[in-house]
Structure 1
Amino acid sequence: MSSAAEIDALEPAAAAQPARDLADWARVLLNGVTLVVLWNHVWFSDLSDRSLLDAAEDGSLLTQLLFIGLGLAMAAALRRLGLERLRPLASWPLLAVATWLAITIFTSVEPLLSIRRAILLVIAAMLSAGILVVARSARQFALTLAGAALVILIPSFLAVALVPHLAVHSPFDVQADPSHTGLWRGVFPFKNEAGAVMVIFIIIGLYVAASASRLYGWALILLAATFLVGTNSKTALATLPVIFVVTTLCRVFRGTVLRAILLLGPVIGFAVISVGSVFIPAVKDLLDSVLSDASFTGRSEIWEFAMENILARPLQGWGYGAFWLTERTMYATGETQTWVNTARHGHNAYIDVALMLGVPGLGVILLAYLIAPLRDLQRITDGHGIDPATMLFLRLWFFALISASFESVLLNGNNATCCMFMMAVFGLRLRASHRMIAA
Structure 2
Amino acid sequence: MVSRSTTGPITLKDAATISQAGALSALRTERATWSFGSVTLLLLFCYFWIGLTPFAHWDGKGNLPSTGNLLNQIVVITLFTVAIASLWRNPGRSVLFSPRSLLGLILLWFCFVSLFSFDPATAFRRIVYALLVCGCANAVLLLPRDSRDFARVFAIGTMAVLLLSYFAVLAVPAVGVHGVNEAEAALAGDWRGIFGHKNAAAAGMVYLVLFGLYLRKASYPRLGSLIVILAAIFLVRAGGKTATAMLPTVLILGWLFEHCRPLRGPLTIGLVIAMNVILIGLSSSPATSSMLASLGIDATFTGRSSIWAFALARISEAPIMGYGFQLLWGSEYLRDLTTESWAYLAAHSHNSFLETLLNGGFPALILMIVWLLILPLRDAGEALSTQNDPALTRLFLRIWIFSILLAGLENLFFVNNGPLWFTMLIAVFGLRLQAGASLQSRQG
TM-score (norm 2): 0.87
Alpha-carbon distance, 1:361 to partner? 0.9
In structure 2, the gaps of 5 or more residues are: none
CA distance 1:172–1:281, change in 2 (3 Å): closer
Amino acid at match of 1:15: A
Shift of 1:96: 3.2
**Structure 2 residue identity aligned to 1:79:** W
Secondary structure of 2:347's aligned partner = coil
- 342 and 382 in structure 1: CA distance in 2 versus 1, 3 angstrom threshold: same
* SS of corresponding position for 2:88: helix
- 1:183-203 Cα distance to aligned partner (Å, 9 max, x none): 111111111111111111001
Number of the residue aligned with 2:267: 262
Give 1:432 deviation, angstroms.
Answer: 1.7
Is the CA contact 1:274–1:294 (under 8 Å) kept in the aligned structure 2?
no
Aligned equivalent of 1:26: 36
Question: CA shift at 1:11, angstroms?
Answer: 3.2
Give the distance between the partners of 1:436 and 1:258, measured in 2 at CA: 28
Is the counterpart of residue 200 in structure 1 residue 211 in structure 2?
no
1:285-364 alignment runs, 5 A limit: 287-288=292-293, 290=295, 292-329=297-334, 332-333=335-336, 335-336=338-339, 338-364=341-367
Off by >6 Å, runs of 4+ in structure 1: 17-23, 383-386
Q: Deviations over 1:376-405 (max 9, x none)?
A: 112222387981111111111111100011
Q: Which residue of 1 aligns with 2:188?
A: 181
Q: Which of 222, 226, 229 does residue 222 from structure 1 map onto?
A: 229
> 1:74-93, CA deviations, whole angstroms, 9 ceiling, x for partnerless residues?
12212243564425813544
Give identity over the alignment, percent: 30
- The alignment of Structure 1 onto Structure 2 pairs a total of residues equal to 429
**Does the alignment pair 1:107 with 2:101?**
no
Instruction: State the AA in 1 paired with 2:219.
Output: A
Matched, 1:133 2:142: yes
Contact residue 273 and residue 287 of structure 1 kept, 8 A: no
385-394 vs 110-119, which deviates more? 385-394
1:411/1:87 CA distance change after superposition, 3 Å: closer
Distance 2:91 2:35 in 1: 19
Q: Name which of 71, 76, 79 aligns with 1:70.
A: 79
Task: Please tell me whether the aligned partners of residues 169 and 185 of structure 1 are also in contact (alpha carbons under 8 angstroms).
Answer: yes
- The 3-state SS of whatever aligns with 2:35 is helix
Letter matched to residue 378 of structure 1: G
| Alignment-derived partner of residue 158 in structure 1 | 167
Q: Distance in 2 between matches of 1:238 and 1:417?
A: 18
- Relative distance call for 1:51 and 1:5 in structure 2 (3 A) is closer
Map of 1:420-439 to 2, 5 A cutoff?
420-434=423-437
Cα-to-partner distance string for 1:154-207 (whole Å, 9 max, x where unaligned): 12111211111121111222xx21220011111111111111111110011111
Task: Identify the residue that residue 55 of structure 2 maps to in structure 1.
Answer: 44
3-state SS of 1:79 partner: coil
Alignment partner of 1:408 is 2:411: yes
- Per-residue CA deviations over 1:198-251 (Å, capped at 9, x if unaligned) read 111001111111122111111111111111111111231121111011101223
Q: Spell out, residue by residue over 1:231-285, the C-alpha distance to the aligned partner (whole angstroms, 9 max, x if none).
A: 11123112111101110122321x2x32112223432343134212233567656
1:266-277 matches, within 5 Å, as 266-277=271-282
Q: 1:385 to 1:269 in 2, by over 3 A?
A: farther
Task: List per-residue Cα deviations over 1:313-336 (Å, max 9, x = no partner).
Answer: 11111111111133333xx14632
Q: Deviations over 1:304-357 (max 9, x none)?
A: 11111111111111111111133333xx14632653222111111111001111
Letter of the 2:45 counterpart: L
Query: 1:101-131: CA deviations, max 9, x gaps?
Result: 3322323321111111112211111110001
Q: For the Cα contact (< 8 Å) 1:353–1:411, is it kept in 2?
A: no
Question: SS of the residue aligned with 2:180?
Answer: coil
Amino acid at match of 2:360: L
Deviations 1:12-48 (A, max 9, x none): 2552589999973322211111012122414234453
CA distance in 1, matches of 2:56, 2:271: 34
Query: Which amino acid in the other structure matches residue 27 of structure 1?
Result: G
Counterpart residue number, 2:156: 147
Q: Which amino acid is 1:131 matched to?
A: V
Q: Is the CA contact 1:10–1:135 (under 8 Å) kept in the aligned structure 2?
A: no
1: CA distance, partners of 2:322 / 2:359: 5
Counterpart of 2:249 in structure 1 is 242
- For 2:376, the aligned partner's letter is P
Larger Rg: 2
Q: Distance in 1 between matches of 2:50 and 2:301?
A: 24
**Aligned equivalents of 2:354 and 2:409: distance in 1?**
10
Instruction: Measure the CA separation in 1 of the matches of 2:383 and 2:101.
Output: 18
Structure 2 CA distance for aligned equivalents of residues 77 and 182 of structure 1:
44
2:322–2:358 contact (8 Å) kept in structure 1: yes
Gaps of 5+ in 1: none
Q: Work out the CA distance in 1 between the residues paired with 2:107 and 2:332.
A: 27
Show the counterpart of 2:422. Answer: 419
Residues 166 and 193 in structure 2, CA contact (< 8 A), matched pair in contact too:
yes
Moved more, 276-285 or 75-84: 276-285
Q: TM-score, normalised by structure 1?
A: 0.88
SS at match of 1:396: helix
> For residues 45 and 177 of structure 1, what CA distance do their matches in structure 2 show?
19
Which segment is superposed worse, 353-362 or 270-279?
270-279
Structure 1 distance, partners of 2:389, 2:254, is 10
Give the CA RMSD over aligned residues.
3.1
Specify the code of the residue in structure 2 equivalent to 1:186: G
